[in-house]
Amino acid sequence: MIQGLLKEIRSYSYFEKLFVLFVMLSSFCITAEYSITKPVSSSVFIAHFSTGFFPYAWLAMFPLNFVVITLYNRCISRFGCYKVMLYLVVAVIGTNVLGSFFLKDFRGVSFFHFVWKDIYVMLMFQNVWSIVHSTIKTHRAKYLYGLIYGVGGLGSVLGSSITALLAVKVGSEKLLLSTAFFYAVLMLGYHYILKVRAKLDQVEPIVWSSKDTTGGFKWIASSKLLQFILLLVVFMQVASTLIDFQFSTYLQNLFPDKDMRTSYTGQLFSFVHFFNIFLQFFGSWLVIHFLGFKTSHQMMPLLFLCNALVFKFFPIFQWLTFEFCMIKAFDYSLFTILKEMLYLPLKTEAKFKAKAVIDVFAYRSARILASFTIIALQMLQGNTVKTLSWILLAIFLAWLFLVMKMFKRQELLLFKKSL
């Protein structure tokens, strides 16, 4: 594998190598920042509202998400990739600086920041990866995508380590001030991504249709492949959200202190990110290479189904932690790599606009389905955590059926042969 990867990289031109290098730098900065912001924002939110309020925050995410993604698709056609990324970075730095001073004392600020953090990070990745998809050729994806995500995993480890080491010492909220550095480096890397891309041969020009008034929605409505990707994202995010709620409920009871909870979450995500790095650098390539594209897609829901069955009959925190870590690790590595590869045969505009709808709007809005489920169970006053296990079993079965059905379609079979 290592020799194959080195041989592949040696075949790249000087500018192709630079392009990959700056993409990896950008991925590193985004994940490092988010690995600081996520545990801080979540821990402060729990201190203000408790985990029982998670579903209401996820419901509030829908209108904000819709407005943001609509503005994004309109602005990117008008201002271009770089300016949109710059405006986004300035907005995020501003909210993080304000949050470092006001999260602790103002519940409304904490609520907004908790919702906003999950939207902006997906827009960051969307902007970078849309350029990657419109630049890297299909046959190179299985080598490079894991490598790029692996470097992003290293950024996650750094961010989680900062959180684990400093949350108790300096206070959770003050950690947000450190994120400005990562965004300064991100903008430098993103600038050179676009600059180097302009010097590459045989790459698709990034152009926009002046007649497109629906953003990425028209692309999804007319493409079975995009609809397939959309359903994959919904299944993964609903399942991940339900498991996240189960885990957070246990965690709140075990760690009532805010800073201790932040520190523990940082330590746990350090482990998750180390596992991610293995999957991203080595595991994902090995799985795709030896099992194949189709079997790799089928393996994930089957594995999650087995985990959910075990927790259903042995509902202990240790196994729930394992289940939580596994779905997070696969979400950040193998699932994302396989999903990103599905975008490769699409047109450039679809890679930006339809991908934005799926990977930002649908990705986060899928939590609404999970929110309604949790709220309904809370109103029935049953054992929410245990009942969710049955729902998770149904989700993983439906996911497995979808993959088996879709890979019978001719376009996916042809795409699989091109890898």
Q: What is the pLDDT of residues 102-145, one digit of tens each?
A: 888 888 889 999 989 988 888 898 888 888 878 877 666 667 77
Q: Which residue has the higher pLDDT, 186 or 382?
A: 186
User: CA 290 from chain center: how many Å?
Assistant: 25
Question: pLDDT band for position 193 (50/70/90)?
Answer: very high
pLDDT tens for 271-325 read: 787 787 787 777 777 787 788 888 888 999 999 999 999 988 888 888 888 898 8
Question: pLDDT band for position 152 (50/70/90)?
Answer: confident
pLDDT at position 185 is 95
Question: In whole angstroms, how far apart are CA 59 and each of 116, 201, 293?
Answer: 12, 45, 34
Contacts of 391 (CB under 8 A, 6+ apart): 242, 373
Q: Which residue has the higher pLDDT, 270 or 78?
A: 78
Q: For the chain, which residues make up each domain, given as ranges?
A: 13-201+210-418
pLDDT at position 42 is 86
Question: pLDDT band for position 401 (50/70/90)?
Answer: very high
SS3 content of the chain, % helix, strand, coil (to 5): 85, 0, 15
Across the chain, mean pLDDT equals: 83
pLDDT at position 365 is 80
pLDDT at position 215 is 60
pLDDT at position 135 is 83
Question: For the residues 175-193, what does the mean pLDDT come to?
Answer: 92
Question: pLDDT band for position 3 (50/70/90)?
Answer: low
Residue 11 has pLDDT above 90, yes or no: no
Residue found by looking up tokens 């408790």 in the block: 50
Question: pLDDT band for position 234 (50/70/90)?
Answer: very high
The Cβ of residue 248 has, within 10 Å, a number of other Cβ atoms equal to 20
Q: Is the pTM of this model over 0.85?
A: no
| Rounded-to-integer distance, Cα 331 and Cα 127, Å | 19
| Rounded-to-integer distance, Cα 64 and Cα 32, Å | 24
Question: pLDDT band for position 51 (50/70/90)?
Answer: confident
| Rounded-to-integer distance, Cα 154 and Cα 325, Å | 17
Q: Please state which CATH class domain 13-201+210-418 belongs to.
A: mainly alpha
Question: pLDDT band for position 230 (50/70/90)?
Answer: very high
